Amino acid sequence: MADKKSYEVDTKELVKVAASGWLGTAMEFMDFQLYSLAAAIVFDEVFFPDSSPAMGLIMSMGTYGAGYVARLVGAYVFGRIGDKIGRRTVLFVTIILMGLASTLIGFLPTYQSVGIMAPIGLVTLRIVQGLGAGAEISGAGVMVAEFSQVKNRGFIGSLVCLGTSTGTLLANLIWSIILTSVNKNDLMTWGWRIPFFASFIVMIAAVLIRIFVKESPVMAEKKQLLAAEREKAADVQTKEKPILEHKSLWVALGLRFGQAGNSGLLQTYLAGFIVTVLSLQKTVTTNANIISSIVSFATIPIVGYLGDKFGRRRMYMILSLAMAIYAVPMMLLIESKNTIVLTISMIIGLNVGVQGLFALENVTLSELFGSKNRVTMVSLAKEIAGVIATGFGPLMAATWVAATTNSWWPVALMIIVFSLITFGSAYVSKDVTGRDLNKLEDAE
């Protein structure tokens, strides 16, 4: 275990910060799931109608991936703002960018109306949405970690992660209601727009709470430490270490890779796979995600608590190895086409390989990095892995499955690789559980 330090915590302020982080996370994952389900279910016909079903799904997944490239840019730009000016400031900008971009997707004209300008508009808004999302969840996670006491930092941080379940649940509920309430023509004409309008409501709620949130206490301590450091090294010319030379960044990338990759495959690609390859109803995936989100309201805080008690490194190793072992049985169960069996298998996979790992992520990454560049480095770690694994994983899976005549094994193999990368990264890393977040330097 890392060295620990006690903090005086303003309980009322912690509640506001946690609520703010929860709403921001809920909105990000609501937008994530709204878009991913739309990409898998309707965007191939609304924005790419001249393509074959398989190619339409690939193009939809590619558009989805474009947002993850933008997230990487947003991670750096807004991460630097969060480190230089303040965590609170950047969280206002990111939530507004995300909310407005997602809402405007609902107003886009279709390919039938304006031709190529429709997918161009979709990609543009997806990029704007990605810019805001690049530092939203990272900034919120850092804020909550910096406000929490050491003894229950993982548990409190995991409560913010319940925003993932809340957002995913809301998105799937909205889509489930629409898919069961409107006919195919109405769905393609106006029904698909409704989910995106809901983002505006969540954005307003998050902004109203963030108005009353104070700046992180670590920022004040950081300024004093940096001033003392500059005074001490006044006569010494020092250069800031290049980003890629931060050893903690490479550890964080590995820890993030499994959760990010598994999320892209289970929450995004499988929605299209189940509909286009297995020829099952569109509601099968949304129902599985809804039940999984409900179950995760127990999974996430339990994993957060266990991370505090037994160490986050150990929990990373247990969950990632379990997911690697489970990948093949899960895909075989999904291939059975039995709705109940398929749903249960997805619930287990989502709670072990996605939600369980995510319950550890925000706090662990915050502990890995020093206060000097914490928001920037946490954001970059999340988004570099996100671009590769979550952004292009579904596209790779769609292409690979099509090339193997709709076989399930490429998906299982990708899940195994993603999960083992996280296991290996946790195995070789230090356990940073309870590390003093006021320290300027990284843990590794």
For residue 3, what pLDDT is reported? Answer: 52
Instruction: Between 356 and 267, name the one with better pLDDT.
Output: 356
Q: For residue 356, what pLDDT band results from cuts at 50, 70 and 90?
A: very high
For residue 124, what pLDDT is reported? Answer: 85
Question: Which tokens belong to 40?
Answer: 């898998």
For residue 57, what pLDDT is reported? Answer: 57
For residue 60, what pLDDT is reported? Answer: 59
For residue 157, what pLDDT is reported? Answer: 92
Cβ atoms 283, 176 nearer than 8 A: yes
Selection from 1-10, 219-228, 318-327, 381-390 with the highest mean pLDDT: 318-327
Q: Mean pLDDT over residues 287-304, rounded?
A: 91
pLDDT in tens, 219-272: 878 877 777 766 666 555 556 678 878 899 999 999 999 999 999 899 878 878
Does 183 score more than 90 pLDDT?
A: no
For residue 244, what pLDDT is reported? Answer: 76
For residue 70, what pLDDT is reported? Answer: 85
pLDDT in tens, 335-350: 999 999 999 999 999 9
Selection from 55-64, 167-176, 236-245, 354-363 with the highest mean pLDDT: 354-363
- 3-state SS assignment for residue 332: helix
pLDDT in tens, 101-146: 889 998 998 888 887 788 888 888 888 888 888 888 889 899 999 9
For residue 6, what pLDDT is reported? Answer: 45
Q: Mean pLDDT over residues 146-162, rounded?
A: 91
Please tell me the pTM assigned to this model: 0.83
Residue with tokens 């390989």: 353
Q: Where are the domains of the chain?
A: 11-215+243-428
Does 90 score more than 80 pLDDT?
A: yes
Instruction: Between 2 and 38, name the one with better pLDDT.
Output: 38
Average model confidence (pLDDT) for the chain? 86
Phi, psi of 51 (to 5 degrees): -95, 160
Q: Mean pLDDT over residues 288-315, rounded?
A: 94
Count helices and strands in the chain by DSSP H and E runs = 19, 0
Selection from 70-74, 144-148, 299-303 with the highest mean pLDDT: 299-303
- Where would I find the H helices in 148-242? 153-181, 184-189, 194-210, 217-232
Q: Mean pLDDT over residues 138-166, rounded?
A: 90
For residue 246, what pLDDT is reported? Answer: 84
For residue 429, what pLDDT is reported? Answer: 95
For residue 279, what pLDDT is reported? Answer: 86
Residue with tokens 């890995």: 368
Question: Which tokens belong to 157?
Answer: 């941080």
Q: Mean pLDDT over residues 265-281, rounded?
A: 85
Cβ atoms 82, 139 nearer than 8 A: yes
Domain 11-215+243-428 top-level CATH class: mainly alpha
User: What's the first-to-final CA gap in the chain, in angstroms?
Assistant: 14
pLDDT in tens, 42-64: 877 787 766 656 655 566 556 66
Q: Give the whole-angstrom CA distance, residue 305 versus residue 287.
A: 28
Give the amino acid at 49: P
For residue 55, what pLDDT is reported? Answer: 58
In whole angstroms, how far apart are CA 415 and each of 106, 180, 222, 341?
Answer: 32, 31, 39, 19
Residue with tokens 């952004």: 391
